[in-house]
Structure 1
Amino acid sequence: MEINHNPNLTSAELSSIWGSYQNDTLGKCTISYLLETTDDEDIGAVLAYGLELAENHIEVLTNIFHKEKLPVPQGFGEQDVNLQAPRLFSNPFMLLYIQQMGAIGLNLYSIALSNSARKDIRDYYTHCIQSSSELFNRATEVMQNKGLFIRPPYIPYPQQVEFIHSKQFLAGWLGEKRPLSTVETSFLFFNLQRNVLGRGLITGFSQVTNDKKVRNYMVRGAEIAAHHSKVVSKFLDESNLMTPSTSDAMPTESTVSPFSDKLMMLHITALNSSSIGYYGSSIGASPRRDIAGAYVRMMAEVGEYAAEGSELMIKKGWLEKPPMAPNRKDLAKG
């Protein structure tokens, strides 16, 4: 006997598509503006591909919401972007931004795929992983061709297999510190790169918002990113390892906002969430106690900053409510 199995979306799948819709509508607005203001043909081609992906994702996700008879989230639209605003970011920053959006997409879509049961949702996120890989690779290729790609530090190849025989390998608070492992170096390097991106983005947002509370929030975020960059750089410098340049990361002098305050706040909220996740992974990859301890402190600082941002968005009426489980206690009251 053939069984017609057509289950509803699980809470995990519903969470994934709801979050994806928010991110893709935000991405469409942001990339549209960057594409409008770049004067570099190669960078424009990568941005155009990223915009095409966002638009395709929105179409597929909208169809899923309609098919499931679910309300389509509000997300972001034309009212949240001013394509006539002057350029706020440099060409190298735009390229780094779209490359990192590809990298973050790979991380988020991998989680969404592994949390999905229904075949149509798994197929969708499998496609998203493939297209995010293509976006990342295209951006990386252009960065390398233009001499803008900064590689992680090189170290001499090991000559033999060795094992750890001393607890000093884990030390870091007191006494002599051992050199960084390649795993620790990798996480430090890419956390530094993400903080460079975040600082440039938040600084730009702080220049163009007309809301005092939003501006103060952005200024504090830029200060946090700068502080975290120094913390991470210090570990790399102590092992005489190269740190990436930040010369093209800062915005122009424009004070005309290309985005709504709501969009800018949610953009930083999304980056805060990613940052906490990356710091959490970094703790597990850092045997040296002083490095792991630094990540714990930085993660807590970002968590506190993220909570303040959520409170501000709630006060402003900007925070869209995600799908929620029913309140059984209220239902029981009748």
Structure 2
Amino acid sequence: MRLFHHLFTLILFVAVIYRADAQGCSDAGFCTMGAMKPDQNYSKRIAIKLRSIEFNYYKGTSLLTAVIQAATIDFNLGINDYSAFQIKLPYMWISGNLGEEAGPGDISLSYTRHLKTYNGWVVNGTLGTKIPTGDSNETVNNENTIDPETGIQVNSPIHMYYQPSLGSYDAIAGISALSGKWLFATGIQIALTKNNNQFTWNGFPSYPDQEYVRSHDRGIELKRGIDVMFRVERNWRFTNFNFSLGALPIYRITKDEAILPGTDERGKLPNTTGLALSVLGSFGYHFDVNNSIKIIQGIKLVDRDFNPDGLTRDDVLSISYVYKF
């Protein structure tokens, strides 16, 4: 009966927060890698060799009509008491007014090293990369891609909001300081290459709102700007459960680059720098030493006005099951 009561409480909690307007990580995923990950387990001995596997489900709505869902397997592989590798393998499916797309998301690899323990605080550092699983130029053919003059239905590249892969190799670095109650982390993500996205408004000539499509026609062969994040989190831990509250500001410090609309020249895209700020909350329940569940959600406070990379989310919920070996 006690276990049933706890499960019912978890289900009720999920049902309540699912209706909240929220935003998760607005970047390309580096705020959930290694030392920058939210709701980290605290241990003065850094028992990283306790290997774990995490199954995560994510659902978010975008600033366009696209709804993004992802299922991710997250492996943590211990090397010794001080070092570990993290591997994240996502599968994504996206649907919206422009069409539907599904496929493997970009692979995340990171190495985390314990750097120092001092006066109850643990300092960890992370180096990582993201490897694209595609060139970010998936196409669709549907009623929106029919040429009204010829009646021919063509394959048209779809917007970045619908792409399972960002199409670029990224370099990532971060550092965190963690105690039993607090987590402070900062990190940087640099896109090393451009993608091959070729979305243009004239690829969807039958879409009823042409002005809507034209307003997002600015990401051809996009190279994202540099993102810097900072996470602060307060955690409350009890015998079988914990919860946390925190803030996650992410600042794009350099402009995105792409083929300028109506030209064959590359250039900096205006209005692509700035702050995206979310307030985050998490809840975790530990069934035993091996099995636990985590729920993370964030409320968007500030967002960039222009996002040709398609990364901004409005309504986000993340649910994970974690098994520790």
TM value normalised by structure 2: 0.25
Structure number having the greater strand percentage: 2
Higher-Rg member (1/2): 1
